[in-house]
Structure 1
Amino acid sequence: MTIVLLIISAIALFLTAVYMSGSWVKYSLTGLFGIALIASLALIVMNDSQHFGMQKVTTTKTVALKSAGSSQLDMLLYQSVGTADQHRVYIYKTTADQKKPSTTTASVKTANQVKTTTGSTKLVTKTTRWTYQSGTAKFWFGIANNDKQLIKRTNTFYVKKTWVVLSTAQAKQLNKLAKQQSATLKARAKAYVQNTVKAAMMKNPSMTQAQLAQLEKQAAAQYQASAMQSMIKTVKQAK
């Protein structure tokens, strides 16, 4: 509405100054329309540069976080934007059956951070926008279409220590490496389990079959985790 007032004031000022004969009415109207013109222009500038009539409003949204990787390993993926890995777009899922992963926005107004948690994995998004303080303010300046203008957005990913944060290129390399070493890892895992069971039986010959089965399961899981961490370290160090 302020822009409309500006236009009307400018037209009225022109018509009054050009077509009205000199009298106190002309001078009064000229002064009135001039003041209205300057005031509306000043308000528009203040609204545009200083967000006059607006206030900052921050909203927080929390969603569950699921692994974005295709393997059984829990993953949070990212894609570097620009050079030297200065900015990242994170790739994630909020449900296990989500077919197309979600991504964070690639914008200078968006900041992303990853934190380790002992609680549930989640994504907390805090968004701050400019909004009009009242309906009156929106009536006067709403035509500028700047309501709910984004100021900043912060995405905080809370993941457990068991999660792995990799780039999409590293994730592909990890899958490739796992396939290449699959046969070797199986043979080594078998030998590791056998040696672990043998050592345990030497210490405690009276172990039951149930105890041996449990030990084999734990040893296999331990070796698998160790081998995976080794491959993850390899792909992270690769250039």
Structure 2
Amino acid sequence: MENKHPKIFFATNVKYLRERKKLSQETVAEKLQITRAKLASLEAGNTRAPQPEDYINFSDFFKVSVDSLLKVDLSKLGELKLRELESGNDIYIKGGNLRVLAITVDKRNTEHVEYVPIKAKAGYSSGGYGDPEYIATLPKYHLPNLPKQGTYRIFPITGDSMLPIPDGSDITGQYVEDWLGIKAGTPCIVILKGNQDFVFKMVTLQADGQVLLTSLNPEFHPYTLPLGEVLEIWKFHSFTSREIPEAVTDLGMVIREIRELKGSLRS
């Protein structure tokens, strides 16, 4: 049986990524501290055995995994997928996905549903989301009627941007591994980088690499964020609340504004 060698896309990918960023060979060569002649040779595929440090340097420079640089024809991907790769969410890394989910399980190896309290928000988004020891400290629950497939987590929300879902509700979300599969206008908990708050919004991934976040409450204007600001996305499954949701009507909004005005006058 003939042994077919796998196709390597390193040369064409380096040229494609450089041209996509509108960078000259001189600029890239200078930043990577190599000669322009070497870069030209690499892009032309004339270097039969690039050094391991070449792979690593180009991977760091273009923010794309070595695995993808070698195995994936990046020119065939859409702009959104490329931005996904550059933001650290490289779905082509086999066995080493950078977006690894930390979970906890019980004695029967069944996943817990962790609850992320409001006071834990900052710690969660600043690194705890990927730390198994941190996740193990969160309150844990087993919820009835959850699908057997998937990982779930509970997040409290504040504010009334998603009315009729009340302020203070707990949102149970299902972990989304492939963000590109999210349908436009899907309600999700979005975990943002650093010490930013996580938000509950209707999510739409745009072709320009931005995430459009829309509220159910029309009083709140939609806004966009770069995909690179997002750490995790949890698709809405259900919510629990001690309040009965009220329909958002024009009259209801007027009444709420009057109440808020009275409250500000008293203070």
Task: Indicate whether the TM-score tops 0.5.
Answer: no
Q: Which has the higher strand share?
A: 1
TM-score range, shorter chain: under 0.3
TM-score of the two chains, using structure 1 as the length reference: 0.18
Whose RCO is larger (CA < 8 A, sep 6+)?
A: 1
Q: Which has the higher helix share?
A: 1
TM-score of the two chains, using structure 2 as the length reference: 0.16
